[in-house]
Every structure is written in structure tokens, then in C-alpha cells.
Amino acid sequence: MKLKAQDPAGCLELAEVEVALLCALARAPDQRLAYWQLLEIMMTDFERASQANLAVRMTRLRKKLCDAGFEGPTLQVIRHEGYQLRLPIQPQ
């Protein structure tokens, strides 16, 4: 999937799981989801999912968004809860 950034030259390629995470965050109330909700989206086998895996995935996603031209905070960690999307993304 390609996501258009604010900069017309900015475009980024996302893995399927990254698209799923961004769409879920965009649709969530206050664009915020708990760790367990994101882990369920990230991996179909919940037993293998961990907060460390999620943190790595979100760090990589945050870097991709910044490299594509999104400015400011993109994904915010909500301590002891989960993550919040800080971008104006409208899910289709």
C-alpha cells in the first residue's frame, strides 16, 4: 500500500501488518488502542506476540512515516496502555 505524505514527493511502502495497524488506530476512538488490541492485529498467533515485538514494529513504522515527510509526532506511546496515532489519516 502507498500512503501519501504532506510532501508531494513523499510516498511510502507499508507492509500489510503496518497498514492494518494504521487503519485500526485511525478508526479507534481518539485514535488510541491498547497493547493487547494492537498485538491481536499484529499477529494472528497471540501466543507469539509480545510488547517488545510491537515496540520494534511501531518504531520502524514511525521511522517510515518520518522518512516519507510526515512532521512532528506520528505515533505516541501511551505509557502502560498502548499507542495513539497523531496523524490526520482518514481510513477508507
Quick: pLDDT tens for 5-52. 444 455 678 888 888 898 899 999 999 999 999 988 877 555 566 888
Question: Is pLDDT of 63 > 60?
Answer: yes
Question: What mean pLDDT is predicted for residues 66-91?
Answer: 84
Joined together, the cell numbers standing for residue 8 give 508531494
pLDDT value for 73? 87
Interior angle at CA 66, CA 40 and CA 34, nearest 5: 25
* DSSP structural state of residue 3: E
Burial of 66 (0-12, 13-18, 19+ CB in 10 A): middle
Please give the pLDDT value at position 88. 73
Helices (H), the chain: 16-27, 35-42, 51-67
Give the DSSP letter of residue 33.
Answer: E
- Distances in whole angstroms, Cα of residue 84 to Cα of each of 15, 45, 49, 59: 19, 23, 19, 13
**Does residue 1 have a pLDDT over 70?**
no
Q: So what's the architecture of 2-85 in CATH?
A: Orthogonal Bundle (1.10)
